[in-house]
Amino acid sequence: MASEREPIAVIGTGYVGLVTAAGFAELGSDVWCVDVDVDKVALLTHGEIPIYEPGLAECVGRNRGRMHFSNELAPALEHARLLFVAVGTPPTYSGDADLSAVHAVVDAIPRSDRHALVMKSTVPVGTGAAIRRILAQQGKPRFAYVSCPEFLKEGSAVEDFLAPDRVVVGDDGDWAGDAVVALYTPLDAPLVRTDIASAEMIKLAANAFLATKISFINEIANVCEETGADVLEVARGMGLDHRIGEHFLKPGIGFGGSCFPKDVSALKQLAGNSGYHFQLLTAVIEVNELQKRRVIGKLHKHLGSLVGKKIALLGLAFKPNTDDMREASSLVLAGRLQADGARVRAYDPIAEDAARELMVGVEFADCAQDAVLGADACIVVTEWPEFAELDWRAVAERMAGRLIVDGRNFLDPGVITAAGFTYEGIGR
């Protein structure tokens, strides 16, 4: 049966692109997916999902008939007016966003008065204006442009796409903005329809604020450690104030992932490029970097020198329910441990393949009980649910030492101490 929903194209089928494509297909659109990665498109064409994201394989599976994959732009241009752009915008050496993939898309699109670029990638404020200037210079002034930033969280991306807190559409009030709004209408989410620059800033400001909240509670945790307060009690007491809210008040060993570090840095650089020194974000970044390293101090406190010590890392992905290792705290931690002379053995339920490429000199185990064998200390880096279910008495029998560092305050300290361990959390 022909779909009544507007067909769309999605350029870039990574975490955001593939989820966006599957989500719109679930809502009834035919989706023409384009990616430069030949292997990725081959996998997707054969029904395989290149990333781990709960519910994504099922969603793509349900909508296979509506999802089309190609390395070529032409079929997408033929079938769709709206070209959602979800290519990567990683940080450059200077901390600015690298927009080369976005510009490759802009350069590849033809002259047209019936198409629109819909920017899902996170880009600096002013990118939309710059792209429209470039389009005009390239003789494509009638190619419409919409900013539609994405707020999904890895680990619950499909759910987030289908039940967003809000949809942000930045445009000139033209047909393309209306068409994007119409696509999202069935989700019944609050809509913020605004100008392009404000839409771009909403995304950066939202991520910077969340990162600020994390660095704030991490600093409170560090002060709690010095003063005898329990940061979990403090966070609960703070979070019940609805002006503050309970979310993102979880102390730990720093934020990572593909978004927060790069978006905070991009906003700081964006401000700097326009002559404003965003002092708060400088501190947010610095606190986060130091937080990843504080765990080493906890190990020194209990073990003395780390030379020759065996340290088990449980969890490597930047957060649970994803295989994404971008900017994961585990990378810094493993590097610091090795630099201090420790031997690192690690386990992650999903992210091992991605981690192996990034963590030189680290041994990998097939399960948590294997990772802790002979370890002097064990650090829980990522709060995968299975670690809470571990038989910690069996862990104690397998380890050489008796130290558990809970980098996410995720374990029950009573269970850990009852198993014979010394428990070190964050800020308690």
Ligand X SMILES: NC(=O)c1ccc[n+]([C@@H]2O[C@H](COP(=O)([O-])OP(=O)(O)OC[C@H]3O[C@@H](n4cnc5c(N)ncnc54)[C@H](O)[C@@H]3O)[C@@H](O)[C@H]2O)c1
Residues that bind ligand X (CB under 6 A): 11-17, 34-37, 40, 86-89, 101, 104-105, 120-122, 150, 152, 154, 258-259
- Least distance in angstroms from the C-beta of 105 to ligand X: 5
Place of tokens 């969890």: 315
Strand pairing report for 67-70 and 310-314 = unpaired
Residue 363: CB atoms within 10 A of its CB come to 14
Place of tokens 């690192």: 344
- Least distance in angstroms from the C-beta of 359 to ligand X: 19
Place of tokens 């619950």: 156
Using N-to-C axis directions, what is the helix angle for 100-108 and 127-137, rounded to 10°? 30
Catalytic choice (224, 259, 367, 378):
259
Give the residue at shortest CB distance from ligand X.
14
Of 103 and 336, nearer to ligand X (C-beta) is 103
CA distance 12 to 113: 23
Of 101 and 332, nearer to ligand X (C-beta) is 101
Distance of CA 179 to the CA centre of its chain: 28
- Least distance in angstroms from the C-beta of 99 to ligand X: 9
Of 123 and 312, nearer to ligand X (C-beta) is 123
Q: Is 279 helix (H, G, I), strand (E, B) or coil?
A: helix
- Least distance in angstroms from the C-beta of 417 to ligand X: 36
- Least distance in angstroms from the C-beta of 34 to ligand X: 5
Closest CA to 68 of 98, 44, 90: 44
Of 20 and 63, nearer to ligand X (C-beta) is 20
Of 222 and 258, nearer to ligand X (C-beta) is 258
**With contact defined as beta carbons under 8 Å apart, do 314 and 347 qualify?**
yes
224 noted as active-site residue: no
**In degrees, to the nearest 5, what angle opens at C-alpha 240 toward C-alphas 416 and 255?**
55
DSSP 8-state assignment for residue 333? H
Q: Under the phi-then-psi rule, with left for phi > 0, alpha for psi from -120 to 50, and beta for the rest, what region is 214?
A: alpha
Indicate which residues carry an active-site annotation: 259
